[in-house]
Amino acid sequence: MLHRLGGRWLRPLPTLQLRARGLPLVPAPPSGAKAPALPVWAVASVSAAGAGGWYEALAASAPVRGAEAVLLGAHAATGLPWWGSILLTTVALRGAVTLPLAAYQHYILAKVENLQPEIKNIARHLNQEVAVRANQLGWSKRVARLTYLKNMRRFVSELYVRDNCHPFKATVLIWIQLPMWIFMSVALRNFSTGATNSEAGFSVQEQLATGGVLWFPDLTALDSTWILPISVGVVNLLIVESIALYWLCSSLMGLSQNLLLRSPGFRQLCRIPLTKSDSKTPYKDLFAAFYTKFISRK
């Protein structure tokens, strides 16, 4: 026998409350009047899912309505134009939700990295013990290998439990960040197309049409300059500017977040354990790597 080796959802603000906060509202079209036609891209993208399709169900889901409420609440509370509200909401969500989760992810991965010397030591001793047992009991190579793997998995699992650092815990960031990104993007598309169940749908759409800045004054239109989509990526050339702005802000916040998590002082503040791969001058090392890869070659 082998021996063991040592929040709450924010509700959409009613029309009267929006007026009380001084936000410009466009009255609903009178009975019999035709609602403004949606852009061709909006009709194509929404109708492609078909009535009762998966996209329609997603657009009307509770998480998306919650994202709409967050955006409306931020816009009403700050009084900023819509481009500013999108920027502020992105920064707030990144700072309050994803930054703590990213710090926790680094905390778990650092503990896992620090376990590697102990895991290698256990693997070496276990391999020797299995070899001895295989010779004594006449095990085949296959049986010896399976015995080694089974016990190694058990030992490693016990180490993860002992230090409370199972690697799966490091994936919590993606399970939160990806759905949040999807719900916010669909909520902004609902606003841009007027595809919302609230009576303020068209008024939000009209506000977005004049809520941009610089070269993108209309947040419901495609970016004719392609500056925002190219900033996000070539694959996003057909997204409306409100979504492109959110994605760009989110990407920039993600970059800032990753740079912050390289700071020794911030890692110490978050109680992230030191590892052999940690650098005392991370930003200097990044610049040196960037210079070597992209500048010194020229």
A 10 A CB-CB count for 132 gives: 10
Residue with tokens 């376990």: 115
Contact 81, 211 (CB under 8 A): yes
pLDDT of res. 18 = 35
Full DSSP string of 90-102? HHHHIIIIIHHHH
Contact 45, 222 (CB under 8 A): no
Distance CA 29, CA 23 (A): 18
Tens-level pLDDT at each residue, the chain (298 residues): 444 444 333 333 343 333 344 434 334 444 444 444 445 444 444 444 444 577 677 878 888 888 888 888 888 888 888 888 888 888 888 888 888 888 888 889 888 988 999 999 999 999 999 999 988 888 888 998 999 999 999 999 999 999 898 888 888 888 888 888 888 888 888 787 776 644 444 577 777 776 766 766 767 676 677 676 676 665 455 555 666 677 777 777 777 777 777 788 877 787 777 766 677 787 787 777 777 766 766 5
pLDDT of res. 195 = 64
Distance CA 188, CA 213 (A): 17
The torsion of the CA quartet 285, 286, 292, 294, rounded to 10 degrees, works out to -170
Distance CA 276, CA 272 (A): 13
pLDDT of res. 40 = 44
A 10 A CB-CB count for 196 gives: 21
The token pair that represents 251 in the structure block: 């990407």
Closest CA to 201 of 183, 220, 185: 220
Q: What is the DSSP letter of 33?
A: P
**Is pTM beyond 0.75 here?**
no
CA 211 vs. chain centroid, Å, equals: 25
Distance CA 158, CA 20 (A): 60
pLDDT of res. 53 = 74
pLDDT of res. 241 = 66
A 10 A CB-CB count for 102 gives: 21
Distance CA 13, CA 11 (A): 6
Written as one letter, the residue type at 159 is L
Q: CA angle, 248 as apex, 49 and 47 as ends, to 5°?
A: 10
pLDDT of res. 4 = 47
3-class SS at 148? helix
The token pair that represents 26 in the structure block: 């466009």
